[in-house]
Each structure stands twice: as structure tokens, then as C-alpha cells.
Amino acid sequence: MTAVYPTDSLLLAVQGPVFAPGDAGYAEEVAGFNVAHRPAAALVVGATSSADVAAAVRYARATGKRVAVQATGHGLTEELFDTVLVSTRRMDRVSIDPLNRRATVGAGVRWSAVIEAAAPHGLAPLNGSSSHVGVVGYTTGGGLGPMARRYGFAADHVRRFTIVTADGRVRDIDENATGEDGDLFWAVRGGKGNFGIVTELEFDLVPVAGFFGGAVIFPGEAAGAVLHAWRAWAPTLPEETTTSVALLNLPPDPRLPEPLRGRSVVAQRFTHLGAGGADLLAPMRAVAEPLMDTVADLPYAAIDAVHMDPTDPMPGWDRGCALAELTAETADTVLAHAVDSPLAMIEIRLLGGAIARRPEVPNAVSGRDAAFGVFTVGVLAGPQPHLVPAASAALVEALRPWAAAGGLVNFLGQASPDRVGSLWSAADRARLRTIAATVDPDRTFATNVVLG
């Protein structure tokens, strides 16, 4: 009898390509946005369907390996050694149902594709600051974007998903699900990749064709005036406005607008839906002389102009926390940590509005009750990359007196399972752990956010 090696059985079971280390195509397949980490997977399955994902999960189980998933690599925080990595980039189907204002997407879709497909219908998705981020990774972590105060988290608008669980089953689960599937419908919307691999996601779009927004960017010398003014002004805004303020150390990159290259600046980000945006923004525009002011009436397709996130791969280090309040002392603490900081960005986002409201069908989104979200990014390059993790940890520690009870999972960065678990209330954390232990008792899934 001819021996059938496990890899042969996998090759027979999947339609997509399978790559081992050293194979042509392996390096391209594992490459993602965050080049500080490069998955060192034992095998990569270029999945083309739910059946491919299920075959990869079954193969991993049969060979005693763990399973990881990657769409874009924006959320990479570790090397995923010796895993079977499911690469979802080929699962790129986007379908729009304009009548019911719904989108259905495959696991590998980025927000940019949904924005483009929805725009001709006067509709928009609840994407985040960068449309290059993947829909599924973002949404399973809640998903907090530039319209969040008006419409809430992306996860609040999910209607259905298909998921492959550790037993290799393909489950189609919608908002009416009960029992174990109902538990999964709650947990996956906010609990990140601890429960399985989502292969398809269906969610509501919102009737937004355009917005009044962009960024007002001031020189770094105005950081104190801008942050203190923003702190007092932001909580007075209506839900139609979503805003954040970011202290940025920008590289001398020729792709940046000339006035910003190689400078420390403070960016005030602003998205307003409906009329009256210019009047609301006027006091902040007057705080100092801006270097740049891009705020205008824009089509929704220009939404990336609000945050101007980098799009090229970079070695990033993220860390964040949530605040219950932003007092003058909190702002001074942030400013003190920004002086000569190795961090590329310290951003504070105003929460509240629809973010704070639970959706009709409850979900596991964390951080809903916080007043502000803090997100730091450092680049692990240059002469002293080791200073970055220490600087972000020091800021988060210094902000502890004003910390909210929970936090936002998408902004956590590298964190211990216990720190991840602490983002939720004791009851929600216990429920998430019970569901994970039921559907994946052997912890088959290796994710960047390990729930403890």
C-alpha cells in the first residue's frame, strides 16, 4: 500500500495552493503590513473557500498543529511559529444588496473594496481609519471608525457570518441563532479570532454618500494648546461628529506633503455627517495657525483623508488603553510623554454617542463604556527601536489613574492573555472563556489576541 503523507491529503483536499517554507510563493504569502513580524508557519494554505479552510483546520488537528489566519497582516503581533496558516487573500468576493443596504464579503476583503462597491448606491460601510485593513479582522475586534459616534461599532451591524470551528465544521450563523450558534454569534462580534475562522461576513451598510471632514494639522509647538482645547471641545460635539487628536512624529518621507516632512505635528481629525460641520469645527481651527487644513465636503470614498494612515508595510508596535475621562492633568501627562518620544503617534479618540449603545442583538464588543480611546504606534526601525515598547508601556502606565474599566481590543497591541481578558466585564469575560472552551477545548486557533 502506498503511504499517504498528511501533506498529500491536504493537497488533495484543497483547491487553493499550499506552500511550505522554501517553496516559491511562501514568502509572498506570509508577508503582511506589519513587517516587524513574519509568520514562520509550517504550512500556508491559500484558501479559496470555506471548504479549503475546513480542510486546513482538519489537517492541522490531525498533525497536532495550531491554526492561524491572516488576511492583510495589519494585526500581526507574533511569528505564529509552526502553525498551519490560512491565508484568506483569495477569498475576495464582495457583493452589495442595495435594496436591503447589505454587503456580503469573503474573509480576505479589505475595506477599500467594500467602499468602492457600495459608493455607487450612496452607501458606505463602517470601516476604520485605514481602508487597507481587512474587514473580518477589524470587525471581529469591534471595529471603531470615523463614523463610530453616529453608527457605533462595525460589529454592531453584522447580520450573519460563516465560520469554520475547531471541529472542522462550516457553520452558517445569523442573528436569530440560538444555543451554541447563538453564543458564537455573540462572541465572534467583538471577541476576535478565538472561536474559529470566519469565511464570510454579511453586514449592514449606512446611507452615507459623503461627509464633511479631513484633518487640521498644526505644528508640534501648538500641541499643548490644541490638546487642551480639544479636550474641552470634543465632549460638546453631537453624535454626528467623530473626532480624534494625534501627536505625530513624521519621517522625512517625500511622499508626505512638504510642510509635514520630518516634523512633529498635531493632527485634529474630524468627520461630520450632515449640515453644520464648519461651525462646529470653527473653534478648533482657530486654536493656532495650521500647517495644513484638508477639511472639506468629501465623497465617502475619500475617507482615508481623515487619518492619512500609512499604507506601505512597516515594522509597527501598537499599544493602547481606554480612558474614563480626559482631565487637564491627563492631557499634561500625555504631553509630557510626547516630548522627545520615540513613538510615531499618540492618538486620542473621542468615544460616546452610538459607541456607548448596545446593539439590538447583543455582542461581545469591549470598551463601549469608555470615554476616550488611546492608541500609540511606534516604528521598530532607526537607531533605537528598543525604546518604542518601553515608551508606549510607560505612557499607558502613566495614564492608569484615568483608565476606564475595559478597553478596545483592536487597539491593545501585544498583550498577555490576562490583559486581554481584562478588557471585558467579569461576566462577559467568563462567558467568552466558556464559549471558547466549548467550541475549541484544545485551543486550536493561534490568534494575536489570546483570551485569558
Ligand X SMILES: Cc1cc2nc3c(=O)[nH]c(=O)nc-3n(C[C@H](O)[C@H](O)[C@H](O)COP(=O)(O)OP(=O)(O)OC[C@H]3O[C@@H](n4cnc5c(N)ncnc54)[C@H](O)[C@@H]3O)c2cc1C
* Nearest to 436, CA basis, from 77, 107, 425, 447: 447
Nearer to ligand X, 106 or 222 (CB): 106
Nearer to ligand X, 76 or 399 (CB): 76
Regarding 130 and contact with ligand X (CB under 6 A), the answer is: yes
User: In whole angstroms, how close is the CB of 177 to ligand X at the nearest point?
Assistant: 17
Nearer to ligand X, 133 or 205 (CB): 133
User: In whole angstroms, how close is the CB of 447 to ligand X at the nearest point?
Assistant: 4
User: In whole angstroms, how close is the CB of 307 to ligand X at the nearest point?
Assistant: 7
Q: Cell 448596545 identifies what position?
A: 358
What is the C-alpha separation between 347 and 372, in angstroms, rounded? 10
Q: How far is CA 363 from CA 153, 249, 320, in A?
A: 10, 36, 22
User: In whole angstroms, how close is the CB of 13 to ligand X at the nearest point?
Assistant: 19
Torsion angle of the four alpha carbons 364, 269, 32, 70, in this order, in degrees rounded to the nearest 10: 20
Q: How far is CA 93 from CA 52, 74, 106, 114, in A?
A: 15, 20, 5, 10
Site string for ligand X, 395-434 (x = CB under 6 A): ---------------x------------------------
Nearer to ligand X, 134 or 290 (CB): 134
Regarding 65 and contact with ligand X (CB under 6 A), the answer is: no
Q: Which position's Cβ is nearest ligand X?
A: 137
- 12 burial (CB, 10 Å; 0-12 / 13-18 / 19+) is exposed
Nearer to ligand X, 136 or 223 (CB): 136
Nearer to ligand X, 329 or 442 (CB): 442
Coil, helix or strand for 80?
A: coil
User: In whole angstroms, how close is the CB of 412 to ligand X at the nearest point?
Assistant: 9
Stretch that binds ligand X, among 122-130, 175-183, 329-337, 383-391 (CB under 6 A): 122-130
Q: Are strands 296-299 and 197-204 parallel, antiparallel or unpaired?
A: unpaired
- 451 burial (CB, 10 Å; 0-12 / 13-18 / 19+) is buried
Regarding 71 and contact with ligand X (CB under 6 A), the answer is: yes
User: In whole angstroms, how close is the CB of 1 to ligand X at the nearest point?
Assistant: 37
Of 291-330, binders to ligand X (CB under 6 A) are 309
What is the C-alpha separation between 421 and 70, in angstroms, rounded? 22
Stretch that binds ligand X, among 66-74, 171-179, 246-254, 383-391 (CB under 6 A): 66-74
User: In whole angstroms, how close is the CB of 164 to ligand X at the nearest point?
Assistant: 9
By the 8 A CB rule, do 243 and 358 touch? Answer: no
Regarding 145 and contact with ligand X (CB under 6 A), the answer is: yes
* Nearest to 212, CA basis, from 247, 172, 253, 243: 243
What is the C-alpha separation between 190 and 88, in angstroms, rounded? 20
Out of 141, 152, 191, 220, the only residue in the binding site for ligand X (CB under 6 A) is: 141
* Nearest to 52, CA basis, from 107, 114, 132, 126: 107
Coil, helix or strand for 304?
A: helix
User: In whole angstroms, how close is the CB of 426 to ligand X at the nearest point?
Assistant: 23
Regarding 131 and contact with ligand X (CB under 6 A), the answer is: no
User: In whole angstroms, how close is the CB of 2 to ligand X at the nearest point?
Assistant: 35
Regarding 70 and contact with ligand X (CB under 6 A), the answer is: yes
Regarding 115 and contact with ligand X (CB under 6 A), the answer is: no
By the 8 A CB rule, do 318 and 112 touch? Answer: no
Regarding 165 and contact with ligand X (CB under 6 A), the answer is: no
By the 8 A CB rule, do 417 and 377 touch? Answer: no
Regarding 88 and contact with ligand X (CB under 6 A), the answer is: yes
User: In whole angstroms, how close is the CB of 35 to ligand X at the nearest point?
Assistant: 11
The x, y and z cell numbers of residue 157, run together, are 451591524
Of 429-448, binders to ligand X (CB under 6 A) are 447-448
What is the C-alpha separation between 446 and 193, in angstroms, rounded? 8
Nearer to ligand X, 72 or 422 (CB): 72
Torsion angle of the four alpha carbons 438, 15, 92, 184, in this order, in degrees rounded to the nearest 10: -10
* Greatest distance between any 2 Cα atoms in the chain: 81
Out of 152, 190, 193, 214, the only residue in the binding site for ligand X (CB under 6 A) is: 193
Total interface residues for ligand X by CB under 6 A: 35
Stretch that binds ligand X, among 123-131, 266-274, 297-305, 323-331 (CB under 6 A): 123-131
By the 8 A CB rule, do 194 and 432 touch? Answer: yes
Binding region for ligand X (CB under 6 A)? 32-33, 69-76, 88, 107, 128-130, 133-134, 136-138, 140-145, 192-193, 197-198, 309, 410, 447-449
